[in-house]
Amino acid sequence: MQLFKEMEGSALNAATGTGNIPCPSSSNKKSKRVSDNVSAYTVQCAKCSKWRFIPTKEKYEEIREKIAELPFLCETAREWRPDITCEEETDLVRDGSWNWAIDKPCIPQPPPGWQRILRIRARGGTKFADLYYDAPSGKRLRSMQEVQSYMHEHSEPGVTLSQFSFQIPEPLEENYVRKRRTSSATLNDMSGAVVPVAATPISWIPPDQSRDFHFGGERNSTSDAEAPAES
């Protein structure tokens, strides 16, 4: 299970982070082309159900790709946090400043040289997010169709369509996305609890609250153990 938080506005490339905390950075960007507006990635331990921050987008993508056959455990995080155990408090404090979403598991890592870009849209729109792939050439592709025709025109040895997925996560917050008019539209449908199917929660954060990571936060809201879709 994974989560991320969103940061609006500035380009953030979690992938450039080498430490524990992905810092907003535009270091290796020459243009103002935007990257993800996601600034942190988190995965849930399959054993203790606590959340652990993942230091880079690449690592997150690697974990996500294999999570079905290779469940994430706290000890996996020792790669970047040598002391971490299941005894440590969860990395996440659900204090309302974070918005959550459910990421899909088993999404392939982008081919080498490619970037998978997720842009969370503003609340109240008709769609939750956009997903793009940036080709090594810099070309931005918006759909499988575009990937396909790009591959037709450019030789990308060893790259296949199966390495692409345009699946976007789901917002946990009901009504983040404006519901389309339906004939039976009642305003308060309480039934809409998001029940992810073996999926991966993600979170993003509203603007201007970008850097307050809660590693081992004190006010642990007990376990964020379960699929955070209560009520």
Partner DNA sequence: GCCACCGGTGGC
The whole-angstrom separation of Cα 189 and Cα 58 is: 38
For position 168 contacting DNA by CB under 7 A, the verdict is yes
Pick the piece of the chain touching DNA (CB under 7 A) from 16-24, 51-59, 174-182, 194-202. 174-182
- 106 binds DNA, rule: CB under 7 A: no
Rule CB under 7 A: say whether 146 interacts with DNA.
Answer: yes
Starting at the edge strand found earlier in the chain, the sheet holding 51-54 runs: 2-6, 38-44, 51-54
| Nearest-approach distance from CB 190 to DNA, in angstroms | 16
List the one residue out of 71, 54, 53, 92 whose CA is nearest residue 198: 71
Among 83, 152, 157, 180, binds DNA (CB under 7 A): 180
Query: By CB neighbour count within 10 A (0-12 exposed, 13-18 middle, 19+ buried), where does 110 fall?
Result: buried
CA dihedral 85, 88, 94, 97 (to 10 degrees): -90
144 lies in the site for DNA, by CB under 7 A:
yes
Nearer to DNA, 16 or 76 (CB): 16
Instruction: Give the footprint of DNA on this chain (CB under 7 A).
Output: 31-34, 37, 119, 121-122, 124-127, 130, 140, 142-146, 166-168, 178, 180, 182-184
